A and B are shown apart, each in its own frame.
Chain A
Amino acid sequence: MTLTGMKKHVGVLEQAGLVSTEKVGRVRTCKLGLRGLEEEAAWIERYRQLWAARFDELDIVVEELKRKEKANGRKKRK
């Protein structure tokens, strides 16, 4: 990887809050915010589970609507 490529790469990680960097003289030191990454993954997964649970309930409601529609004999031709 070129130095410019590396800079860009680190820049993206830094923007995402996954690493922090500090420049002292000519040297830029990177600190890895790995915990931040894990935390983010964990809450995204929790958020996903919430929505998955929600959508499972939505499926039940929608199935009921489908059955009702069928029972009412409403047929819509495509």
Chain B
Amino acid sequence: MDVRRESEATPTKNRTGVERKSERELVVTRTVNAPARLVFEAWTKAELFRRWWVPKSYGLTLLSCEMDVRVGGQYRLVFRHEDSTMEFFGTYLEVTPHSRLVWTNEEGDNGKTVTTVTFDENAGKTLLVVHDLYPSKEALDSGSTDAMPEALDQLDELLASLGSSTETQ
């Protein structure tokens, strides 16, 4: 397992917010206790990105993670989940160092979803806003119900077990 680093000033966790802005938009926000250039690095270097994008708790194996982070560049993530593989891929539309990333998600059947991430630094902390614009209401709604349901179930189980058994760790 991972190195334990309990004693080392675990900063108070920042809250993750999710808001459905409209029929087609979903927005996630979170503050990270670091300057934007470091947070941006973690989003744009494949070897760093792959370490956090799929939470360990997920039960998914990231088989490969290729990211060509420049305008028009492609990314492709391949996962294994039990006996099947899943691919997520798309194109970077905007890459503005330390402040903004825009990419498409082209794996869906219902058209492209566009993800915009902004990095807003203030007093050494960075506010992250992840904005997903779905091609239609149906795409958002179906994404909500069939996007990796097993993984989400596992996550639910994990979160439940974390909540009830913290002392066993």
- Name the residue on B nearest A65 (C-beta): B38
Q: Determine whether B62 belongs to the interface, using a CB cutoff of 8 Å to chain A.
A: no
Partner-binding segment picked from A2-10, A23-31, A51-59: A51-59
Partner-binding segment picked from B46-54, B76-84, B89-97: B46-54
Q: Determine whether A32 belongs to the interface, using a CB cutoff of 8 Å to chain B.
A: no
- Give the top 6 A-B pairs by smallest Cβ distance, nearest first: A57-B52, A53-B55, A52-B16, A48-B18, A58-B52, A62-B34
- A residues bordering B, Cβ < 8 Å? 15-16, 40, 43-44, 46-63, 65-66, 69
Q: Determine whether B152 belongs to the interface, using a CB cutoff of 8 Å to chain A.
A: yes
**Residues of A close to B130: CB separation below 8 A:** 51
Q: List 10 A-B contacts (CB under 8 A).
A: A47-B18, A48-B16, A48-B28, A58-B32, A59-B11, A59-B32, A60-B52, A61-B48, A65-B41, A66-B38
Give the dominant DSSP class at A's interface: helix
- Which of B17, B32, B56, B144 contacts A62 (CB under 8 A)? B32
CB distance from A60 to the nearest CB of B (A): 7
- Name the residue on A nearest B48 (C-beta): A61
- B residues bordering A, Cβ < 8 Å? 11, 13-14, 16-18, 20, 23, 26, 28, 30, 32-34, 38-39, 41-42, 48, 51-58, 128, 130, 144-145, 152, 155-156, 159
- Name the residue on A nearest B34 (C-beta): A62
- Name the residue on A nearest B43 (C-beta): A58
- Which of A40, A43, A44, A62 contacts B42 (CB under 8 A)? A62
CA gap between A59 and B17 in the complex, in Å: 16
Q: Is B18 touching A54 in the complex (CB atoms < 8 A)?
A: no
**Residues of A close to B28: CB separation below 8 A:** 47-48, 51
Given A63-B34, A65-B34, A66-B34, CB of A50 within 8 Å of CB of B152: yes
Q: Is A43 touching B34 in the complex (CB atoms < 8 A)?
A: no
Q: Is B144 touching A43 in the complex (CB atoms < 8 A)?
A: yes
Q: Is A53 touching B18 in the complex (CB atoms < 8 A)?
A: no
